[in-house]
């Protein structure tokens, strides 16, 4: 039982958060970049702040680093209020989006920079730099200048430099944004390994939802200076709090309708889109007649030419578009009333015996527990 609580400390009220962001507001003139935001982050977490550009995620990161002072509210690190501590005195380091490597210093001098500020003895600095170079596998490039490095190498130097001082908290601002897709995926796992190895708490800002899903222990989804949902990647994907969240993370279909009540299956929804009653396992506690939405992920919609052997949740339509991406195909199915639903299917066979093509009449079906009931 204790093991579970350390893996998911946010579920255990006895655990003390490592970083406490308390009612923080940041105003630039009249504009509130952060609006009364509170958030707890626990030790050894890999926490992602995810959101569209302009949602305030970078501002929040800069407040944690100390480059911006909160207009209101406070920040506690390990129980200590650091709101008024200038950046150079905070035990927090940041990896910049632009990497911000000092162009006039070699790789090793860049990594040693922070240690020199602490006036560590020279041999200790050297040991730590060597250790960091090894960690990011750049030992051979120690003498190079930043302009002689590739994007991926610069990214590693920036990471090594920000980790060299063994900060209590590492902030990463779009750390993989400048890398190409393949390198980014590979680096995501390296980041996770390094984080696990050093046991440093990471807070990462990203607009890439796949990246956030891959690396995070928890994701804080931001919009217009607010946190809309803070949860693990699985919870965010499988149990989003509203349509915006469901739509931001992954692909989703919405069925709109009015609440008919709960029966032995679960929620009954009289859907205009489906033109019938549809079901979700999850029971709902609102007034009958209220507007509700079912969110169904495309991979949870079964598509077939043959009418499935189910009584409920079967819709008929016509294939309008197909997007084939190799590993899977997404079918855009138009229902009789014009509503288009997306269903995807893994291409598990090379041949196309069960081939579905344009204009085919197909049936869509989902299991009641696959639908998410949303009230807003």
Partner 1 sequence: MKNLRKIINGRAAVIGIPYLWLLALFFFPFLIVLKISFAEPIIAIPPYTSLLEWGDSFWPTIKASLDSYLFLLDDSLYINAYLSSLKIATISTLIALVIGYAIAYSIAKAPTRWRGILLMLVILPFWTSFLIRVYAWIGILKTEGLLNLLLISLGVIDKPLTIMNTDLAVYIGIVYSYLPFMILPLYANLEKMDFSLLEAAADLGCRPFKAFWTVTIPLSLPGILAGCFLVFIPAVGEFVIPDLLGGTQTLMIGKVLWMEFFSNRDWPVASAVAIILLAILVVPIMYYQKSQEKAIS
Interacting residue ranges for partner 1, rule: CB under 8 A: 65-67, 86-89, 92-94, 96, 98, 100-104, 113-114, 117-118, 161-162, 165
Quote the tokens at residue 212.
Answer: 């956030």
Contact 70, 25 (CB under 8 A): yes
Under 8 Å CB-to-CB from 4, ≥6 apart: which residues? 11
Beta strands 218-223; 253-262: pairing state = unpaired
**Would you say 6 or 98 has its CB closer to partner 1?**
98
Q: How far is the CB of 165 from partner 1 (least distance, A)?
A: 7
SS3 25: strand
Cβ at position 98, least distance to partner 1 in Å: 6
Find out whether 34 and 63 touch, Cβ atoms under 8 Å: yes
Minimal distance, residue 115 CB to partner 1, in Å: 9
CA–CA dist 127, 133 (Å, integer):
10
Query: For the chain, what is the total number of helices (H) and then of strands (E)?
Result: 9, 20
Residue number with CB closer to partner 1 (103 or 338): 103
What's the min distance (Å) between Cβ of 53 and partner 1? 18
Instruction: Outline where 173-268 has alpha helix (H).
Output: 181-198, 209-215, 233-238, 243-248
Find the shortest distance in angstroms from Cβ 256 to partner 1: 46
Minimum Å gap between C-beta 345 and partner 1 is 46
Render 120-152 in DSSP notation, one character per residue: --HHHHHHHHHHHHHHTT-GGGTT--GGGS-HH
* Both structure tokens of 368: 């009641």
Rank residues 54 and 86 by Cβ distance to partner 1 and give the closer one: 86
Q: Using CA of residue 352, residue 296, residue 8, residue 172, what is the dihedral sign?
A: positive
Choice between 65 and 371, CB closer to partner 1: 65
Residue 140's alpha-carbon distances to 149, 158, 357, in angstroms, are 12, 16, 54
Nearest distance in Å: CB 100, partner 1: 4
Residue 87 or 250: the one with the smaller Cβ distance to partner 1 is 87
Cβ nearer to partner 1, comparing 90 with 297: 90
* Residue number, 104 or 306, with CB nearest to partner 1: 104
């Amino acid at each position: 039982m204790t093991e579970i609580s350390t893996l998911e400390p946010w579920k255990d009220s006895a655990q003390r958060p490592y970083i406490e962001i308390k009612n923080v507001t940041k105003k630039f003139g009249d504009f509130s970049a952060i609006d009364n935001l509170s958030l707890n982050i626990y030790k050894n977490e890999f926490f992602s702040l995810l959101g569209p550009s302009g949602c305030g995620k970078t501002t929040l990161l800069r407040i944690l680093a100390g480059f911006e002072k909160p207009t209101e509210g406070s920040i506690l690190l390990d129980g200590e209020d650091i709101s008024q501590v200038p950046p150079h005195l905070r035990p927090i380091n940041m990896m910049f989006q632009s990497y911000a490597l000092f162009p006039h210093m070699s790789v090793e001098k860049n990594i040693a920079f922070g240690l020199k500020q602490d006036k560590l003895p020279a041999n200790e600095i050297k040991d730590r730099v060597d250790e960091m170079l090894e960690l990011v596998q750049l030992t051979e490039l120690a003498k190079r200048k930043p302009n002689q490095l590739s994007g991926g190498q610069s990214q590693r130097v920036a990471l090594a430099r920000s980790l060299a001082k063994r900060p209590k908290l590492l902030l990463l601002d779009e750390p993989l944004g400048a890398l190409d897709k393949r390198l980014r995926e590979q680096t995501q796992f390296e980041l996770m390994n390094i984080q696990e190895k050093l046991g440093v708490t990471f807070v990462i800002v990203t607009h890439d939802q796949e990246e956030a899903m891959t690396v995070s222990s928890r994701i804080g989804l931001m919009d217009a200076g607010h946190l809309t949902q803070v949860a693990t990647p699985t919870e965010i994907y499988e149990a989003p709090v509203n349509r915006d969240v469901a739509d931001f993370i992954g692909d989703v279909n919405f069925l709109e309708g009015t609440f008919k009540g709960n029966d032995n299956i679960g929620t009954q929804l009289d859907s205009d889109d489906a033109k019938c009653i549809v079901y979700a396992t999850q029971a709902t506690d609102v007034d009958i007649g209220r507007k509700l939405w079912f969110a169904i992920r495309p991979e949870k919609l079964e598509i077939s030419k043959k009418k499935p052997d189910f009584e409920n949740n079967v819709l008929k339509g016509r294939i309008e578009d197909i997007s084939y991406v190799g590993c899977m195909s997404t079918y855009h199915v138009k229902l009789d009333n014009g509503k288009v639903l997306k269903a995807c299917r893994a291409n598990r066979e090379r041949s196309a015996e069960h081939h579905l093509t344009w204009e085919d009449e197909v049936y869509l079906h989902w299991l009641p527990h696959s639908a998410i009931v949303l009230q807003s």
